[in-house]
Chains A and B, each alone.
Chain A
Amino acid sequence: MIPLMVLLPIFIGTIQLIFRKYRKFNIAISFIYLIFNLLMIVHYRGENFQYALSNWGNLGITIGYDQMTEMFLIASLVVFSAVIFNSLSKNYPGFFYSLISILYGALNSIFVSRDLFNVFVSVELASICVFILIVFQKKGAQIWASLKYLLISSFGFNVFLLGIGIVYTNTGTFSFEALNMADEFSALLIFGGLSVKSGLFFLSLWLPDAHSKAPTEVSAILSGVIVKIQVYLAIRFLQYDSFQWLENIYVILGWISAIVGVVFAINAKNVKRILAYHTLSQVGFMFAVPNIYGAEYAFNHAIFKSLLFIVVGNIYERTGILNYKEMKGKITKIDYIPLMIGSLAIMGFPLTDGYVAKHELFIHCSTPGFVILSIASVGTVISFSKFIFLGYSKGEKGKFIPGRNIAYYLLISVIFYIGLRFFTLSDIQVTIFIIATGIVIYFLVKNKIKPLDNRLEKLDNALLIYISFIAFLVTYLKFFII
């Protein structure tokens, strides 16, 4: 039944592509696969198994299901449902829904498959859908952001392909288990290939442009789920022997990304760019603890980050303002409440899921990691105070849009469900100290905010940084490991 979770969305996506003129029909059949996948996730709850499809032996595609798979499947289900609900009131053509369906199928395929080549194909299918979704409104800046993303990431995935070729020559199979017997160089190429899409600072510098220029719903999907593909794969691959030597590199890259991303975010003014830089920073948090706790953080990040992107995108579409200072006094109450809840969750405020996830991270990381992540958390609080202190204005009357409200309620209820169910009082003083410090610093630096230079995000520079990272990894492997 597991392959149906992948094939049904892709099949429905194809039908939607044929009947793309009938918008309402397309929306209606989108719910078929969402409900089906919900039922499947409930049915397989808590199970842990792995099997190969058909009788091809170790050449067949292996499929598996465990706790981590389950978490990411739920995250993508929730984010996609919210996105479809939010898009109901907008006049998106049927083509949009068909791409969303195919993307959803490809994502499920990545999370359930245990086969390197299948992962490559699914990631590329998902990427092609995303490239088209970003340029959906055909603005010049969107096309450029998408083209930059395309060139850098498809170069990176060729490196990945070289890596899995070496795994095949070493072991004779493409299954994940082969990574136990493969050599370290293949692990280097695989990790290098993944890192270009992972959203780590200095490695995926296409990200701020692509995430901030994309349409509202697509930004939510990009930051919520697409970035998590690489986080998921990196964390899963680390369980295998040939990846063990990379663990320290993961952690250090995570620290760097957490700090540098937050510095850029504090200094940004464009609301969507603030959120995009925060994605870089938060991915750093996940890489700093590359095990099941990092994956849990990724799950919670998917929920609150997509909520933030949807709210900010809706405000932007209504008012046409991107600078957060000009937004003051133009936010309606129905937009402000989810904006505040999302901001509190990303800060790690008690009773939200951000608190639970950050608490787990802080318990399970080393002492220097704890210090660095705390500093990054203070930075997060400084940056999100910009949103919290915007306030709503009573004079501003928004229209009542049911679909948008359902999307908000869905994401907010997940935030509070996890936040209340796993709430613990231990270490609450650290959280309160971090939040208080952040707010105080915010009021000190509030008037000195000036966007930093984005020279590094240029195409050639991004490519050069990426290749020097791979060269660094090769040197490190040559002189310190072998």
Chain B
Amino acid sequence: MNPGEFVVYISLASFAIGFIGMVINPNMIKKIISLGVVETSVTLFYVGISALSGTVPPIITSIPFVEGQYADPVPQAVIITGIVIGFALLCLSLVFTIMLYNRYHTLDVRSLEEIFQRENEH
């Protein structure tokens, strides 16, 4: 199997694992870490698709240019922005969680939902 393809399948599997983590963990911090797993696996997916054409770094070493199994630099270049955005989102969600914890002293999603349900009714 092409190494790129292998990485793509691994990344899709970890995407699914991250999603399952987001659903089954009632703890807010664990949910956010699972979201981090999802984001990292998307980054890995982009690394995988850039390796589909080869794994040699796309740097020309000798002047008569030799056709080789070069990796595609574009997906790697664009996903850097994706990493930054994922970082910002994770930070923001952790800040919100800290604010909630300071007020309600719980990280459990079910008890948080209950608290706000009661607030809604009043």
Contacts and interface: CB of A to CB of B under 8 A. Distances in A.
Contact of B42 (A162, A169, A459): A162
B89 interface: yes
B53 to A, nearest CB: 10
A121 B52 CA distance: 24
Given A147-B100, A169-B52, A162 B45 contact: yes
- Classify chain B's interface size: 35 or more
A144 B112 contact: yes
A59 B100 contact: no
Contacts of A169: 49, 52
B22 A155 contact: yes
A6 B103 CA distance: 38
A46 interface: no
A119 B24 CA distance: 31
Contacts of B23: 460, 463-464, 467
B30 to A, nearest CB: 12
Contacts of A124: 85, 89
A460 B95 CA distance: 20
Given A140-B103, A165-B46, A120 B82 contact: yes
Nearest to B46: A165
B65 interface: no
Contact of A161 (B31, B32, B42, B119): B42
Given A151-B93, A168-B74, 4 more contacts: A128-B89, A140-B100, A151-B32, A162-B45
Contacts of B35: 151, 154-155
Interface string B90-122: 001100110110011000010011011101100
Contacts of A143: 96, 99-100
5 contacts: A128-B89, A140-B104, A147-B97, A151-B93, A168-B49
A158 B38 contact: yes
Contacts of A467: 19, 23
A158 B45 CA distance: 11
Interface string A153-166: 01100100110010
A59 B120 CA distance: 49
Given A59-B74, A168-B74, A459-B113, A131 B92 contact: yes
B92 A132 contact: yes
Contacts of B119: 140-141
A135 B31 CA distance: 20
Query: Looking at chain A's contact residues, is the secondary structure mostly helix, strand, loop, or mixed?
Result: helix
A443 B89 CA distance: 47
Nearest to A160: B42
Interface in B19-38: 19, 22-23, 28, 31-32, 35, 38
B88 interface: yes
A469 interface: no
Question: Which of the listed residues B32, B81, B113 has the most CB atoms from chain A within 10 Å of its own CB?
Answer: B113
Interface in B48-106: 49, 52, 74-75, 78, 81-82, 85-86, 88-89, 92-93, 96-97, 99-100, 103-104
Interface of A: 59, 117, 120-121, 124-125, 128, 131-132, 135, 138, 140-141, 143-144, 146-147, 150-151, 154-155, 158, 161-162, 165, 168-169, 174, 270, 454, 458-460, 463-464, 467
Contacts of A463: 19, 22-23
Contacts of B32: 151
B113 A151 contact: no
Contacts of B117: 454
Contacts of B82: 120, 161
A147 B115 CA distance: 15
Contacts of B78: 117, 174
B108 to A, nearest CB: 12
Contacts of A464: 23
Contact of A147 (B15, B19, B96, B120): B96
Contacts of B109: 459-460
A231 B26 CA distance: 32
B49 to A, nearest CB: 5
Contacts of A150: 89, 92-93, 96
A383 B74 CA distance: 51
A162 B113 CA distance: 31
Nearest to B103: A140
Given A117-B78, A146-B96, A158-B15, A151 B38 contact: no
B78 to A, nearest CB: 5
A454 B46 CA distance: 38
Nearest to A168: B75
A117 B74 CA distance: 11
Contacts of A174: 78
B49 A140 contact: no
A151 to B, nearest CB: 6
Contacts of A161: 42, 82
Nearest to A470: B19
A121 B85 contact: yes
B107 to A, nearest CB: 12
A128 B113 CA distance: 23
A458 B113 contact: yes
B6 to A, nearest CB: 15
> Which of A117, A169, A458, A463 counts the most chain B CB atoms within 10 A?
A169
Given A59-B74, A460-B23, A144 B100 contact: yes
